[in-house]
Structure 1
Amino acid sequence: MTNEKRWIIQAETPPTPFQLAMMLLSLLSVVVVLVLTFARLDSETRRLLFFIDTCICLLFMSNFFYGLFKAESKKTYFKHHWIDLVASIPAIEALRMARLFQILRVVRLIRMTRSLIVPMVKQRRQATLASLLVALVTILTFASVLVLIVESGVEGANIETAEDAIWWALVTISTVGYGDYYPVTTAGHIIGGIVIVCGVSFFGIISGYMASVFVAPDEAEKLEIHSEEIRSELQMSLARMEANQQQLLKEIEALKLEMRDGKK
């Protein structure tokens, strides 16, 4: 029984930031599927949620095949992650509920706080990219859905379809502001303001990350040169210590010989 549930409750190694990001996106996706299944939605909101969930499915599938490609043992990887492939198949809501098993992993990892913190500290770049991915998908999802709900059916509104909502969210979070689609309600303005603030913060983090990518190699090169200098100094010190030891041994032998001659 334990072996059958190993892939659910046991983690052989701490998760990487991208693995944790996929699990958090699974939680978001399950929420979307539950809303699609049980909520009474108009046709455009349903189309929008279906489009978002399909995009998340493609992310899951890409992550699965990337992990399969990188795995040393394809059979072992597939044995422990087949549920991820099943959960990433688009357009089949029943299979998407398999992501609940990934949420069980998230719950277990939350209890293992140390297992979450260590990978984040050791892999800061990957953690930054994973956080940006989760933030981007989450912001686009909630922004496009909420603006479509509050703007739908309002007089003078121009965000009326799923395509309009997702395009408006993309343009707003990127702070481009084409102006072809815009909210006309107070609630829509509030949502737009929040998305703009998130977008500014989002791209500020990206700018900092890109700067670190270009600066870090120089620092790594300096560190490597410094390490080489330290190793050279240590080797020279060891050589001097060895020479001094040999000299000391010779002096001890000479003293022994003198003591023997004195006794005679």
Structure 2
Amino acid sequence: MKEESECPVGFKGSSYEGFILFLSLLSVFNIVFLVFPALNPDATRVVFVVDLFLSSVFLLDFLFRLFTAESKLQYFLQDRGWADLLSSVPLPGMKIFRLSRIAQVVWLMRTFGIRRLKYDFSEQRAEGALFFVFFFIILLVEVSAILVLGAERTAPGANIRTAGDALWWAYVTIATVGYGDQYPVTTWGRIVGIVIMTAGVSVFGTLAGFLSNKLTAPRERHSEQTIPMQSRQGEAMSELRDMVAHQEELYRDIVTRLERIEQAVKIEKGEEKERPP
């Protein structure tokens, strides 16, 4: 049985693995959403565009795991890298492999250990917040684009009528840019806009805080935090072994010198006995 402090092969950090897990869950939810019969065609296009983006993220994740694996062949065959590759293909029949990706990430996190995950999250709060911001932006863009389309698509004088209009409006509103070429004219559309503008301030405030923390943090503290606990423990054990070996060497040297002195004393006493009176 593995200890919780041991890091399983292929584990890329609790924040990163959690990010991939939530993206995989969102992609599976989108698959169900696409086959929902009451969904209007424009909302379906929104989900399809978001799914294309998720597929590109999964492809980058596969390449990242492949090129950082100790054995690329073992990752691809034994660690189901082929399933990660197939799950990044934006075809309906290939999306079922995203369930395998979810199972793999859950297994890695369980093998890593709950207590170790909590410690890792506490040590890398900034990175965890950054991954959460990325996931929240993707989720918020998708949900707000679908909601604003439902409110604006058939309204008189509306200018948000297509999936492209909704996605563009959702992103510039979250970014608090306020480009102005697309805007809601209905009450429900404006309510959606208020919600995502408020969320956008929080999201990009968190992102700014992360960048500020990374730019102003002392280099010594940063390097210390990025050293894994297992590595630090290994270095301490190595130093202790060197100290014990040095003490043993000193002990053997002292014993050897004492034996030589004792032998010299015996020889000297023997010579004194042999001398004539």
Q: TM-score, normalised by structure 2?
A: 0.70
Distance in 1, matches of 2:144 and 2:114, equals: 30
Does the CA-based 8 Å contact 1:159-1:165 persist in structure 2? yes
8 A contact 1:159–1:183 mirrored in 2: yes
Match for residue 195 of structure 2? 194
Q: Secondary structure at the match of 2:176?
A: coil
User: What residue is the counterpart of 1:70 in the other structure?
Assistant: 68
Give unmatched runs, 5+ long, in structure 1.
Answer: 1-10, 224-264
Deviations 1:21-44 (A, max 9, x none): 111101101111111123333222
Match of 1:33 among 31, 53, 63: 31
- Over alpha carbons, which structure has the higher Rg? 2
Q: How does 1:111-122 map to 2 (within 5 A)?
A: 113-122=114-123
Aligned partners of 1:45, 1:54: CA distance in 2, in Å?
Answer: 14
Name the structure 2 match of 1:101. 100
Report sequence identity in percent: 37
Partner in structure 1 of residue 207 of structure 2: 206
Shift of 1:116: 3.4
- Paired residue type of 2:121: M
Looking at structure 1, the residues matched to 167 and 94 of structure 2 have their Cα atoms a distance apart, in angstroms, of: 25
Distance in 2 of aligned mates of 1:157 and 1:139 = 21
Measure how far apart 1:13 and its partner are.
Answer: 7.0
Is the 2:10–2:65 Cα contact (8 Å) retained in structure 1? no
Distance 1:222 1:75 in 2: 32
Report how far residue 115 of structure 1 moved: 4.8
| Structure 2 counterpart of 1:159, one-letter code | I
Q: Return closer, same or farther for 1:102/1:39 CA change in 2, 3 Å cut-off.
A: farther
Call closer, same or farther: CA 1:59–1:172 in 2, change over 3 Å.
same
Change (3 A) 1:221 1:95: closer
Give runs of aligned pairs for residues 69-88 of structure 1, distance below 5 A: 69-79=67-77, 80=79, 81-88=81-88
When the two structures are superposed, what TM-score results if normalisation uses the length of structure 1? 0.73
- For residues 177-208 of structure 1, give each alpha carbon's deviation from its aligned partner in whole angstroms, at most 9, with x where no partner exists: 11111112222111111111111001111111
Tell me the amino acid that sits aligned with residue 43 of structure 2: T
Equivalent pair of 2:25/2:102 in contact (CA under 8 Å): yes
Q: What residue number does 1:240 align with?
A: none
